[in-house]
Amino acid sequence: MHDLKEVRTKPDYYRERLSKRDKNLTGVLDEVLLLDQKKREIQTKADELRKRKNEIAQEISRSKDDEQKTEKLKSESISISSTLANIEKEEINLSFKFSEKVLQLPNITSDDVPEGEDETKNKEILKWGNPKTEKWIKPHDEIGLKLGIFDFERGVKIAQSRFTVLLGIGAKLERALMNFMLDHAATKGYKEIFPPILVNKESMIGTGQLPKFEGDFYKCEGEFLYLVPTAEVPITNLHRDEILSPEQLPLKYCAYTPCFRREAGAASKDTRGIIRQHQFNKVELVKITTSEQSVEEHEKLTNDAEEILKKLELPYRKILLCTGDTGFSAMKCYDLEVWFPAQNKYREISSCSNFGAFQARRINIKYKPNQKDKPVFAHTINGSGLAIGRTLAAILENYQTEKGTVTVPKLLQCYLGELKEIIL
């Protein structure tokens, strides 16, 4: 959410910055400003009527001996009450429309984010590792089936398409990755959290998932509870409606959760394998920090996620997303993309975003720079550290041998009873 006072005083600035994301957003901004103006005008009108009612009550009290004047004042008060009732209904209606519309405005992007409509304008920052290109490397779903660690058919039987059963070493490798990522985060100073995987509507609105992406999430029928799409939601909301001291910041949290997404509108993409599932596991990194520290802390968090790929010796590249491809709540985002040799391409495995004060303003997380200052909104940062299923898929391709086995990365062997190779 934006600072509405600033939006009112700098509308042209916000039009220009929002249009870099999507030119249609200037129309949404104009609607927000119009509704805001109408809402404030009607609030002023209502306040004037309430003030007049109070004045009439005092005049009646002073005019008890003047029956004619008292009756006239009472008649005016009744008329005002009727008018005020209609105005208050309109006031509630305008407030609802305004709240609904203002939540549709995304964050504005940082000055150093490249301008562009889609992913073709994203900027490659670096590449790391030596990507394999051998023609004999099989896709992760094929080698996983061959090694008996994936069961796609039973996943569909139990649930529906895009749910997978992991078997034996597959299940253990998934768990090993989770533990490795949490252990890595701990060495970087992140405090581990095990949050609820059901969150309320306020939490989803606060981090920007709602109302824009309503169709992407699984909701409990009859309750305003959602299965988490990412641990970012419960962790960021840990400090909702709190004022933090600067000594506490930056707060650094990590959490493993299963994550659930309908992937609405993505039915034709990545239907094979475990790249795009409705249920997947992820370790999330979250920071709450000051405005002065947020740029540096964003870079550090991204490096923390990169280190996991380096330790696993998985080739990857780092991409700075352009304005049109940056997520709704983010002002700047790096994507880390891991190499998939069977596809001969890099695929996203982590998004590391700096949200500035956008989320904190929605959920009211503040800090006091010092005792004399008024509280100001904190900055929030998060990133996947990493998506576990995609990491597993990348290992199956990058550590595949020509004889059809998969070598276990050295750092994971201790989590698997010193297992060095996955064979039939």
Please report which helix (H) or strand (E) contains residue 25, including its range.
helix 25-62
Tens of pLDDT along 142-178?
Answer: 999 999 999 999 999 999 999 999 999 999 999 999 9
Q: Tell me which residues of the chain have a pLDDT lower than 70.
A: 264-271
Percent of the chain with pLDDT over 70: 98
Tokens at residue 277, please?
């599932």
Contact predicate 33/98, CB 8 Å: no
β-strands 379-387, 345-354 pairing: antiparallel
Give me the pLDDT at residue 69, please. Answer: 84
Give me the pLDDT at residue 66, please. Answer: 78
Q: Rounded distance, CA 322 to CA 122, Å?
A: 5
Phi-psi region of 189 (alpha: psi -120 to 50; beta: other; left: phi over 0): left
Q: Rounded distance, CA 62 to CA 51, Å?
A: 17
Give me the pLDDT at residue 240, please. Answer: 97
- Using CA atoms in the order 229, 230, 236, 238, what is the torsion angle rounded to 10 degrees? 80
Tokens at residue 216, please?
């992407």
Q: Rounded distance, CA 412 to CA 347, Å?
A: 22
Sign of the CA dihedral with 113 first, then 117, 122, and 123 last: negative
- Shortest CA distance to 84 belongs to which of 55, 53, 57, 54? 53
Tens of pLDDT along 276-334?
Answer: 999 999 999 999 999 999 999 999 999 999 999 999 999 999 999 999 999 999 999 99
86 alpha-carbon distance from chain centroid? 39
- Shortest CA distance to 316 belongs to which of 147, 125, 169? 125
Contact predicate 274/150, CB 8 Å: yes
First to last CA, the chain: 53
pTM: 0.92
Q: What are phi and psi of 239, to 5 degrees?
A: -110, 25
Give me the pLDDT at residue 267, please. Answer: 54
β-strands 316-320, 406-407 pairing: unpaired
- The position carrying tokens 């923390």 is 304
- The position carrying tokens 């609820």 is 196
Contact predicate 421/384, CB 8 Å: no
Give 8's contacts (C-beta < 8 A, 6+ positions apart). Answer: 33, 36
Amino acid letter for position 214: E
Give 54's contacts (C-beta < 8 A, 6+ positions apart). Answer: none
Q: Rounded distance, CA 261 to CA 275, Å?
A: 13
Helix (H, G, I), strand (E, B) or coil at 50: helix
Helix (H, G, I), strand (E, B) or coil at 18: helix
- Shortest CA distance to 244 belongs to which of 376, 379, 380, 367? 367
Q: Rounded distance, CA 327 to CA 321, Å?
A: 9
Q: Please tell me the number of Cα atoms within 13 Å of 81 on its side-chain side.
A: 9
Q: Rounded distance, CA 270 to CA 260, Å?
A: 16
Amino acid letter for position 168: G
Give me the pLDDT at residue 231, please. Answer: 98
Q: What are phi and psi of 227, to 5 degrees?
A: -70, 135
Angle at 415 between CA 411 and CA 418, to 5 degrees: 80
Q: Rounded distance, CA 287 to CA 406, Å?
A: 35
Q: What is the 3-state secondary structure (H, E, C) of 285-317?
A: EEEEECCCCHHHHHHHHHHHHHHHHHHCCCCEE
Give me the pLDDT at residue 264, please. Answer: 59
Tokens at residue 381, please?
């940062």
Max Cα distance, the chain (Å) = 107
Give me the pLDDT at residue 270, please. Answer: 66
